[in-house]
């Protein structure tokens, strides 16, 4: 079992940010290895196949997946074996080692866009950006509106990365995961 003291690895914030920004999760799901800091990406196909193995092996009388011993492994292609084994580790055998990376909440994205828009010096652009925050596809419209403004677009990406890092750090803390401080952390 992993505790806070065991996880002292460097965390790849960019990879976690990419995972969090996949809010639909139709094709993939994402997990953080608490021991190594590695982001694990599992396809929904692999997850479904692992779930099928669990469903075939799980007996309601067992009570918990921890006690599952997979006896009748269905035929699976060789190229899938390692990924399915990893999925089974994540879901039952070594589940305390992994934390599912959550989706970025729409409220967080909205708050970041609003906070950034309020920093924009050009009054017209600021009002345009604030006006785009209501309704469907606000994030896409917001980014598109910054297209003709390369300086502000660059500032937005930096602002959003910093806001995402703060969200990731909050998630890591609630998940009981500590990361090593690197030289860049001391500079901020």
Q: Are strands 8-9 and 178-179 parallel, antiparallel or unpaired?
A: parallel
90 and 69 fall within a common domain: yes
Residue 54 has pLDDT above 90, yes or no: no
Last residue of a domain, one of 61, 82, 100: 100
What pLDDT, in 10s, does the model give residues 127-138? 999 999 988 889
Give the structural domain span for 71.
Answer: 8-100
26 and 47 fall within a common domain: yes
138 and 173 fall within a common domain: yes
Residue 124 has pLDDT above 80, yes or no: yes
Last residue of a domain, one of 48, 83, 100: 100
* Nearest-5° Cα angle at 40, 19 to 162: 35
- Token look-up 């492994």 returns 73
Answer for the pair 150, 81: CB distance below 8 angstroms, yes or no. no
Residue 49 has pLDDT above 50, yes or no: yes
96 and 142 fall within a common domain: no
Please state, in angstroms and rounded to a whole number, the distance separating the CA atoms of residues 23 and 25: 6
**Does residue 65 belong to any structural domain of this protein?**
yes
């Amino acid at each position: 079992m992993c505790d806070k003291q065991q996880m002292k690895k460097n965390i790849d914030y960019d990879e976690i940010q990419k995972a969090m920004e996949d809010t639909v999760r139709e094709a993939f799901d994402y997990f953080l290895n608490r021991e190594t800091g590695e982001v694990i990406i599992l396809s929904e196909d692999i997850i479904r196949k692992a779930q099928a193995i669990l469903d075939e092996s799980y007996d309601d009388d067992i009570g918990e997946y921890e006690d599952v011993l997979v006896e009748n492994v269905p035929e699976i292609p060789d190229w899938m074996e390692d990924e399915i084994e990893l999925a089974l580790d994540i879901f039952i055998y070594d589940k305390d080692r992994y934390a599912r990376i959550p989706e970025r909440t729409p409220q967080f994205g909205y708050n970041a866009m609003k906070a950034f828009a309020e920093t924009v010096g050009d009054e017209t652009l600021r009002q345009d950006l604030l006006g785009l925050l209501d309704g469907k596809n606000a994030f896409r419209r917001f980014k598109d509106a910054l297209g003709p403004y390369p300086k502000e677009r660059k500032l937005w990406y930096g602002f959003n990365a910093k806001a995402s890092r703060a969200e990731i750090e909050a998630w890591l803390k609630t998940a009981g995961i500590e990361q090593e401080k690197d030289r860049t952390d001391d500079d901020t």
